[in-house]
């Protein structure tokens, strides 16, 4: 075992220029090729948001929609993400990086009112520990960055939001709602990654622990399956992920990504019951996303489709678990879907550029459709409020490169038996390097 660990550490390293926590393709190229003026990189990003929701926040708003149709609006201040990252270039192709994230200004524990638990107040622990260590990895660059071997806690490169989750990489105040609902975002796991840049292409493949089906649910599908309520991540099942990006057309990125792995019995409470012996809970996800940034336009889009085998048996098993278990004990769908597109135009490009210098002012629109219970097996109840469309319009003002001020109006359009969910949001965010 000691020899195996030493072998893994001998393969590890981080890119040479940590320009973003999610390592975009541009970052990867810089990490592999750019000579740094300093061995140490310090950076981060953060968001502060105010939202006024013009719909009920009562836990029964979906089960008794008519009663709460005319409820008063409610407002919220939030710090969705505040992140600090450090990178260090050891030389000879060896480098490392860490990212520490504070979500909602807290320690990853909160009290919530549970919609499926009779409105009880319940303490939720999203991940063991007081601080979220979102990344820690060591990377070895080979052949001028054409190949890199990375070992440690790494972003899983599936979907647009996981790779491009900094606040200046989407127009809305919060991360795109569809992907952030049906998949872990930002999805980070301890594993091994092989990645690199060849010509106009970037590739990445990753080996990682599987998800935990005990923590799947109706509202978020597999979203919570990447977390662990323990001080370690159980790895009785394993998975693989991949991503391929193409940059052949100037200003355009086209990307495909995917994930495959089993999830059942990847928990401390694994059952020996014979009726579950053939249940695997295989999770399959396929995703396409793109970004066009040229001629004063920015357009982005994504399509994600996921399938879970044995969802009916997993639903029965989860609902039979003890009340004090960390499982939400909810129904889970066999298939989930998320699709979205947004576009914004810089109207400052029409004005005097000398006076405005590098300022940008985008008018944008976004449309999303997602459903965490897109398809369900025979006895699994389909909660129709889990599927919705969302429309957002607003502005992004960038007084300087690393700062963005955001404003938007959005509305969630639900099935006719439920109430729509309009809101307005105002926010400010930053993303960049403090030292490089």
3-state SS track over the chain:
CHHHHHHHHHHCECCCCCCCCCCCHHHHHHHHHCCCCCCEEEEEEEEEEEEEECCCCCCCCCCCCCCCCCCCCEEEEECCEEEEEEEEEEECCEEEEEEEEEECCCCCEEEEECCCCCCCEEEEECCCCCCEEEEEEEEEEEHHHCEEEEEEEEECCCCHHHHCCCHHHCCCCCCCHHHHHHCCCCCEEEEEEEEEEECCEEEEEEEEECCCHHHCECCCECHHHHCCCCCCCCCCCEEEEEEEEECCCCCEEEEEEEEEECCCCCCCCCCCCHHHCCCCCCEEEEEEEEEEEECCEEEEEEEEEEEECCHHHHHHHHHCCCCCCCCCCCCCCCEEEEEEEEEEEEHHHHCCHHHHCCCEEEEEEEEEEEEEEEECCCCCCCCHHHEEEEEEEEEEEECCCCEEEEEEEEEEECCCCCCCEEEEEEEEEEEEEEEC
Query: Is 289 within the bounds of a domain?
Result: yes
Mean pLDDT of 347-374: 92
Percentage of the chain lying above the pLDDT 90 cut:
74
What does the pLDDT read at residue 116? 54
pLDDT in tens, 104-157: 876 656 566 655 555 555 666 555 445 688 899 999 999 988 999 999 999 999
The domain tally of the chain equals: 1
* Residue 231 lies inside a defined structural domain of this protein: yes
Evaluate whether 220 touches 275 at the Cβ level (below 8 Å): no
| CA–CA distance, 334 with 374 (Å, rounded to integer) | 8
What gap in Å lies between CA 23 and CA 27, rounded to an integer?
5
* 258 within domain boundaries: yes
Give residue for tokens 């795109």: 176
pTM above 0.75, yes or no: yes
Task: Encode 6-32: b = buried (16+ Cβ within 10 Å), e = exposed.
Answer: eeeeeebbbbbbbbbbbbbbebbbbbb
Query: 26 Cβ partners below 8 Å, 6+ apart?
Result: 19
Average pLDDT over residues 46-69: 94
Q: Does 343 map to a domain? A: yes
CATH assignment of the domain containing 368: 2.40.160
Question: Does 151 map to a domain?
Answer: yes
Whether the link from the prior residue into 261 is cis, omega within 30° of 0, is no
Q: Is pLDDT of 25 > 70?
A: no
Domain-located, residue 286 = yes
Rg for the chain (alpha carbons), in Å?
22
Residue 233 pLDDT grade (very low, low, confident, very high; cuts 50, 70, 90) = confident
What are 259-268's pLDDT values in tens digits?
999 999 998 8
* Domain interval for residue 349: 45-79+143-435
pLDDT at residue 387, rounded to an integer: 97
Look-up of token digits 């890119």: 15
The residue with tokens 């729509």 is: 420
- What is the pLDDT at residue 37? 56
The Cα 15–Cα 135 span in angstroms is 13
Residue range 294-342, pLDDT digits in tens: 999 999 999 999 999 999 999 999 999 888 888 899 999 999 999 999 9
Backbone angles phi, psi at 179, to 5 degrees: -65, -35
pLDDT in tens, 191-230: 999 999 999 999 999 999 999 999 999 999 999 999 887 8
- Contact, 150 vs 251, CB < 8 A? no
Residue 4 lies in a domain: no
Tell which residue, 44, 104, 56, 41, has the closest CA to residue 77: 104
Average confidence score pLDDT of the chain:
88
The answer to whether residue 223 is domain-embedded is yes
């Amino acid at each position: 075992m000691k020899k195996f660990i030493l072998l893994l550490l001998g393969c590890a390293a981080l890119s040479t220029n940590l320009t973003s926590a999610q390592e975009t393709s541009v970052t990867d190229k810089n990490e592999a090729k750019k000579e740094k003026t300093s061995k140490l990189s310090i950076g981060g990003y953060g968001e502060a948001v105010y939202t006024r929701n013009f719909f009920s926040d009562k836990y029964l708003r979906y089960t008794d929609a008519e009663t709460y149709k005319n409820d008063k609006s409610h407002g919220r201040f939030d710090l969705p993400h505040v992140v600090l990252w450090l990178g260090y270039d050891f030389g000879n192709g060896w480098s490392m990086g860490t990212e520490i994230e504070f979500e909602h200004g807290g320690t990853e524990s909160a009290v919530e009112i549970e919609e499926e638990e009779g409105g009880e107040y319940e303490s939720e622990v999203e991940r063991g520990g007081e601080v979220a260590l979102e990344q820690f990895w060591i990377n070895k660059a080979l052949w001028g960055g054409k190949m890199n071997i990375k070992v440690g806690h790494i972003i899983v490169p599936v979907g647009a939001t996981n790779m491009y989750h900094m606040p200046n990489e989407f127009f809305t105040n919060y991360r795109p709602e569809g992907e952030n609902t049906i998949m872990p975002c930002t999805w980070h796991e301890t594993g091994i990654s092989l990645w690199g840049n060849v010509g106009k292409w970037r590739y990445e493949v990753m080996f990682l622990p599987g998800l935990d089906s005990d923590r799947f649910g109706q509202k978020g599908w597999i979203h919570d399956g990447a977390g662990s309520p323990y001080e370690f991540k159980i790895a009785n099942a394993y998975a693989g992920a991949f991503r391929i990006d193409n940059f052949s057309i100037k200003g355009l990125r086209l990307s495909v990504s995917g994930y495959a792995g089993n999830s059942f019995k990847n928990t401390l409470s694994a059952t020996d019951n014979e009726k579950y012996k053939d249940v695997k809970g295989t999770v399959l996800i396929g995703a396409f996303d793109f970004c066009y940034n040229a001629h004063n336009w920015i357009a982005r889009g994504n399509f994600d489709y996921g399938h879970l085998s044995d969802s009916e048996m997993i639903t029965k098993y989860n609902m039979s678990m003890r009340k004090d278990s960390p499982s939400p004990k909810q129904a889970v769908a066999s298939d989930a879907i998320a699709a979205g597109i947004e576009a914004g135009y810089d109207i400052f490009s029409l004005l005097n550029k000398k006076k405005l210098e590098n300022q940008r002012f985008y008018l944008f629109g976004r449309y999303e459709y997602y459903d965490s219970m897109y398809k369900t097996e025979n006895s699994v109840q389909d909660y129709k409020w889990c599927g919705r469309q969302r429309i957002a319009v607003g502005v992004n003002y960038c007084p300087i490169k690393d700062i963005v001020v955001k404003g938007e109006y959005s509305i969630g359009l639900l099935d006719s038996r439920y109430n729509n969910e309009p809101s307005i949001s105002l926010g400010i965010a930053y993303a960049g390097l403090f030292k490089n």
